Structure 1
Amino acid sequence: MTASIVIVTNPFEPVTSRSVHAVEAGITVGALLLDCGIAEDCWPDGPEILIGGMAVPVGIYAVRAIGDGEVVTVIRWPQGGGGGGGGGGKNPMRIVLTIAVMVAAIYLGPMAAVAMGYTATGTAAAMATAGIAMVGSVLINTVIPAPKPSMPSLNWGGSGSAPAPSPTYSIQAQGNQGRLGQPIPVIYGRHLIYPDLASEPYQDYVGGEQYLYQLHVIGQGEYAVEQIRIEDTPISSFEEVQTEIVPPGSPVTLFEPDVVTAAEIAGQELVAPNLVASGDDGFIGPFTANPVDTTAGALGIDVVMPRGLYYANDGGSLDSRTVQWQVEARAIDADGAAVAGWSVLATESHSAANNTAIRLSFRYAVSPGRYEVRLKRLDTKDTAERAGHEIRWGALRAYLTGQPDFGAITLLAVKMRATDNLSQRSSRMINVIATRKLPVWSAAGGWSAPQPTRSIAWAFADACKADYGAKLADARIDLKTLATLDAVWAARGDSFDAVFDTSMTVWEALTRIARCGRAVPIQQGGIVRIIRDAPQTMPVAMFGPRNIVKGSFKIKYVMPGDDTADAVTVEYFSSRTWKPDETTAKLPDSQGDNPAKVNLFGCTAKDHAQREGLYIAANNRYRRRLVTFRTELEGMIPTYGDLVAITHDMPRWGQGGEVIGHQGDVLALSEPVEWTEGATHYLALRRRDGSLAGPFRVQAVPGDATLVRVLDPLTVTPYVGGSEERTYFSFGPGQAWAQSARVLAIRPRAEQVEIVAVAEDSRVHVN
C-alpha cells in the first residue's frame, strides 16, 4: 500500500529538480509535511500540494489522507504579490512561472540552441533542427546524429573565413608555425600537439656556438606534459636542447621571450674607410630596431666574418688580422623621427688567425624606448687575395622590456644549440604529448582544483564555462547530469581526446564533445543539458487513441535500398601512432560490402571507435519507423530522448481506450479487446500526471470482451467518473501492449503539441 510523492523544488527546472519517492498509503498531507521538516505554522506560505492534479486546500492538510496509488505533487513556488501559498491571495509570480515552465518544456530538437562563439574572433548565431541525418552511403541516424563524414584534413568548417589547416590533424601541415589570426588551441584529454609559435624565434651566438630560441603555445589552460619530442624521438635524446614548461601566469626564465629581429638586416658588408666612396660617411643603416608601440630595454647585433680573419703568409701558416667597428643608436618616435642625437653604444674589435667563418653577438643596454641603429667599420681592409678581412652585419635585435601577458595559456620554451644532430626542419618539428588539467565537479564538494582528466563530462563543462567558450555560469549548466554521465563513461572506457585549433561555434564544439560519448547537447529553459542515448525501461508518458488528436497520427517507414549502408567505417586519430586510423564495424549478419564512413572526432582508441560504429550500424538498421502525432498540453511532459509508450490500432501497436468501470480486480473497458491464444496479456494505465502505471497481467472475463481481471496489485485507482478525463489503458499480448518510442522533437501547435518520435529497439543498445 504505497503512494508516489513527486517533489519539484525549482519550477524553473521542472525536470532536473524533480524527485520521486514512495510513501506508505494512509499518511495525511500534514504528516507528510511534518516529516519533511515543514512546521504547521509554515503551511500557508509553504509548497503547493496537488493530488491527482487537483490542489489540496491548506485547511484540510491535517485530515486529507493519501490513498493507495495516488500521486502527490509538491511544488515550491517563489512568493510574490498577494498572500501567496495557501493564504488565498493571488501570487503573480506563480502565474508567470507556470507559463515559464510550460515554455521551458517546449523543445525543438537536439540542435535548437543559439550557437556561441568558440575559439573564434566573434560570435555566430545558428539554429538547427532535429531530423534524419544521412551521410556516406545513406546512413539513417535519429536520436543521436552520426559524426560528420571525414574531410581531407580532418578540419570541418568554421565561421567566417576559411580556417588554416590544423598543424595536428593535417599531415601536410604538421610542424611548428606562427598561425596569425588563428585560435589559440584548446586541448581536452590526452593528445599530441605540434604547438604553435607564440613569438618569432630568434638566434644569437655564444662562444662561437649558434643558439636558437623558440617559444611555443601548448594551449589554453593547464596541462600535465607527458613527453616532449622532435618528430618521433624524445627530446631527452638531444643533449643540445633545453626546455621549460611555463604554466599560466608564470614568467619564462629560460631566455627572454619578447625579442624582435629586424628583417632589413641581410648580411650587409661594413665598408672599410679605404674603400668608402667619396662623400659617403661609411655608416651602414640606420635601421629601425623595434616596431611602433614597443619599448626596447636592450639592443643586440650580430656580426659575421664569412671568410674568417687571417693572412696566408709565404710559409703556409696564417697570420692574424684585426677588424674594428662602431655601433651607434638614437631614439626615435612613432613616426620614425629622431628625438635624440646619435650615441656610441660601443667600439668593438676582434682579432683572429682563422680561415673559417666567425660569428659574434653583442648586447647593449639602453634606456627604454624605440631606437634605430647604424654600424661603421673603423679599420683599413686588407684587400690582398691571401687575406680574409671582411665583416658583415648579420642581425639586429631589440629586447623588449617586461614579459608579455600571454593570458591563461601554457607555454613551452625551447633553447637549441646548433649541432650536426639538429637540422633546420627538425627544429620546427617539436611536438608534445600532454593531458589537459580541468576542474572536476561533485555534488558534495563542488569544483576541485584542476587535475589531469580525459573526461567527456568535464570537457563539456569547460567548453560551457571558459572565456574561450560560452562563458556560462554554473547555474546554466546541468552539472548533476554531467556528474552522473561521467561515471557511466568512465565505466565504459569512453574519453574525449582532441585538439580544437580552428574556429567554430560553441554549439559545434559541444556537439563534437557530446557525440564522443553517444550524447547530444540541448538547450532547455536557458540551461545547457546533455542527453545520452542509453537504454530506458520505463516510459515517462503514454499516448493512445484517447489522447492522440484524430487524424494526426502518421508513421514514416524509412525503407532500405541498394545504397543503404550495411556497415560503418569509423575514422579516428589513433593514440598508438598519433596518425589517422579507421576501423569498420558491422552487425553479425551483415556482409559489410557497402560501409558508410564517419569521423569520430575526439576518439583515439580502436575499441571506442568499434563500439560507436556498432551502435551507429544498429541504429541505422533498427530505428527506421518515425512516428508523428499531436496531443494536448500533456505532450510537454516528456523531453528530448525520453521513452514514451504509444498505443494505436493503425499499426496494431496494442489496443487502447478508457476505463469506464472498476470493481475490485475487474475493470470495464470502453472498447472490446482481442485475446491471443496461449499468450500472457498485459494492461497499462495512465496516471493523472500523464505517467505510466503498470503494465499489469490481466486475464479475460468469460462472456464479455470489455471486461478484464487484473492479476497484479493495482498501484493506481482508475478514475471512471465524468468530471474529468477517465483513465486511459493500453492492452496487448506480451510486449505488444504498446510500442516504445524515443522522443525526437516536441513542437507547439496552437493549443496542441506535436511530437516526433522513433520506434525504439533494444538491440540498438547492445554495445
Structure 2
Amino acid sequence: KLPRLVGGTWTGPVATRDIVPWVGYVAKSIGYVDDDFDLDELERLGKVWSDRRDYFDYAVEDSSTVKECISDALTAGFAEFTLERGKLKPVRDEPRSVYGQMYSPQNMTEPLKRSFTLPSPDDYDGVDIKYTDEKTYADETVKCRLPGDEGNTVKEITLNGVTNRDRAWRIGMRRRREYAYRTKSYNFSTELAALNSGYLSYDVVADDVPGYAQSAILEDFMAMDGMSVLVSSEPLQWQEDQQHVALLRRPDGSTSGPWPASKLDDYRMTIGDLDFVPDTSWEIEPPHLLFGTMKRSGYPVLITSIEPGEYTADVEAVGYDERVYADDNNVAPEDA
C-alpha cells in the first residue's frame, strides 16, 4: 500500500501496482519533497502507464541505491530517471509527432556533424529478456527477434519488476529495435539556445548540405485572407512535382510547423494561417526558417546529451525512427 499521485497531491496509502507510487515512495524515503519532483510530468506518465497496465511488481530484498530502485520501476514504463534543473523527472521514450526546438546553421556555432553506424557481423541479432513470470513464479526467458534474426549474438537482459510475458517481450523488442534502427547520430554546438532542450527532447536539426533542408532568416511576414506570406533571406530551391514545407523558429526556440508551402517567387512563399506573429523588426532575433520537401525538411532527432560551457553548449543526438516503437502494443509470439 502506497500513496498515489492524484491532481498534484499524494493520497493516503492504497493497494497499487502502479509505477508512480513506487517512485514517489522511494524518493521520499531519503528526504525528497514535492518541490523536488516534476509532478506534472510524473502524473502525466502515471496515466499513460495505468492506461497501458504497465505495472511494477517487485520486492527489494538486498541493498541497492535509490537511483537503481527508481530506474528499475521506470524501465517497466519505457522511461528513465533524470534530474532536470534540480527536479526529479522521469523521461519516457515514446512516439512523437510535434517538434520541440529547432537547430540550424542560423543558430549553430559549429556545423552539424552526421554519422551512421554500418552493420557489422558483431551486431546483436537478438535480445533475451529474463524475468519472473506472474503465472509460474519462476525465472523465465522470452526471446525477442526481428525477422531474419538468427540469434548468433544475443544481448541478455534481466528485468526486475515486470512479471507479464508480453510486457517483458515488448521491452526486449524495444531494445532490439533500438539496435537495428537507431544508427544515426548527430553532433553540433550552439550558444546557450541548446539549454531549451532536455534529455530525449524531440527536436529538428539541419545543415547546409545541398539537396536537404535550407535554412534562412525570415525577413518579412504578411498575413492576408487566412494565409501567411513568408519572405526568405535566401533564394528558395523549389523542386518540380514535390510537396514543400516550411518550419519556423519561434522567439522561445520552439518549432512552428511543418507548414505546406506554395511558391510565389524565389524568395516568397505562402503557408496557412501561422500560429504566432513573427517579429521581423530586428529588435529581437527574427525567426529562423527551414524549407524543403516533405522528406527533406530537417532531421528529426532525440537529444541525448547537452554539455554547457561558458558561452556555448555541445549537443549530441540520435536519429528519431518510428520503427523503434512498432512492438510497444503487440503480444509475444508463442515461440518467443
Other-structure match for 1:542: 102
After superposition, the CA RMSD in angstroms is 2.0
**Which of 81, 85, 89 lines up with 1:529 in the alignment?**
89
Alignment of 1:235-634 (within 5 A): 437-443=1-7, 446-466=9-29, 470-551=30-111, 553-634=112-193
Hey, what's the Cα distance between the residues in 2 that align with 1:480 and 1:509? 21
User: Which residue identity is paired with 1:560?
Assistant: P
Aligned with 2:70: secondary structure? helix
CA contact (8 A) 1:556 1:627 kept: yes
**Which of 718, 738, 750 lines up with 2:310 in the alignment?**
750
Gaps of 5+ in 2: 329-336
Query: 1:630, CA displacement in angstroms?
Result: 0.9
Q: 1:676 to 1:618 in 2, by over 3 A?
A: farther
Higher helix share goes to which structure?
Answer: 2
Percent of aligned pairs with the same amino acid: 28
Q: 1:593 to 1:723 in 2, by over 3 A?
A: same
Deviations 1:329-385 (A, max 9, x none): xxxxxxxxxxxxxxxxxxxxxxxxxxxxxxxxxxxxxxxxxxxxxxxxxxxxxxxxx
User: Which residue identity is paired with 1:481?
Assistant: E
Other-structure match for 1:323: none
Query: 1:668, CA displacement in angstroms?
Result: 2.5
Aligned with 1:616: secondary structure? helix
Q: Does 1:655 align with 2:214?
A: yes
User: Which residue identity is paired with 2:158?
Assistant: N
Hey, what's the Cα distance between the residues in 2 that align with 1:755 and 1:523? 17
Q: Work out which of the two has the higher radius of gyration on C-alpha atoms and give 1 or 2.
A: 1
Other-structure match for 1:698: 261
Hey, what's the Cα distance between the residues in 2 that align with 1:463 and 1:666? 54
Q: 1:474 to 1:725 in 2, by over 3 A?
A: closer
CA contact (8 A) 1:569 1:596 kept: yes
Query: 1:591, CA displacement in angstroms?
Result: 4.2
Other-structure match for 1:366: none
Query: 1:458, CA displacement in angstroms?
Result: 0.9
Hey, what's the Cα distance between the residues in 2 that align with 1:543 and 1:753? 12
Query: 1:660, CA displacement in angstroms?
Result: 2.1
CA contact (8 A) 2:110 2:188 kept: no
Aligned with 2:12: secondary structure? coil
Q: 1:708 to 1:457 in 2, by over 3 A?
A: same
**Which of 725, 730, 733 lines up with 2:290 in the alignment?**
730
Q: 1:510 to 1:449 in 2, by over 3 A?
A: same
The alignment's TM-score, normalised by the length of structure 1, stands at 0.41
**Which of 196, 203, 224 lines up with 1:637 in the alignment?**
196
Hey, what's the Cα distance between the residues in 1 that align with 2:166 and 2:305? 32
Query: 1:643, CA displacement in angstroms?
Result: 0.8
Deviations 1:92-130 (A, max 9, x none): xxxxxxxxxxxxxxxxxxxxxxxxxxxxxxxxxxxxxxx
Aligned with 1:450: secondary structure? strand
Deviations 1:387-410 (A, max 9, x none): xxxxxxxxxxxxxxxxxxxxxxxx
CA contact (8 A) 1:698 1:708 kept: no
Q: 1:718 to 1:495 in 2, by over 3 A?
A: same
Other-structure match for 2:331: none
Q: 1:482 to 1:718 in 2, by over 3 A?
A: closer
Other-structure match for 1:680: 243
Hey, what's the Cα distance between the residues in 2 that align with 1:441 and 1:651? 51
User: Which residue identity is paired with 1:740?
Assistant: P
Query: 1:716, CA displacement in angstroms?
Result: 2.9
Aligned with 1:439: secondary structure? strand
Hey, what's the Cα distance between the residues in 2 that align with 1:653 and 1:603? 43
Aligned with 1:718: secondary structure? coil
Query: 1:652, CA displacement in angstroms?
Result: 5.4
Count of matched residue positions in the alignment of Structure 1 and Structure 2? 323
Q: 1:745 to 1:708 in 2, by over 3 A?
A: same
Aligned with 1:491: secondary structure? helix
CA contact (8 A) 1:649 1:655 kept: yes
Query: 1:609, CA displacement in angstroms?
Result: 0.7
Hey, what's the Cα distance between the residues in 2 that align with 1:714 and 1:443? 34
Deviations 1:49-69 (A, max 9, x none): xxxxxxxxxxxxxxxxxxxxx
Q: 1:662 to 1:453 in 2, by over 3 A?
A: closer
Q: 1:637 to 1:678 in 2, by over 3 A?
A: same
User: Which residue identity is paired with 2:81?
Assistant: P
Q: Does 1:713 align with 2:260?
A: no
CA contact (8 A) 1:464 1:477 kept: no
**Which of 299, 309, 319 lines up with 1:759 in the alignment?**
319
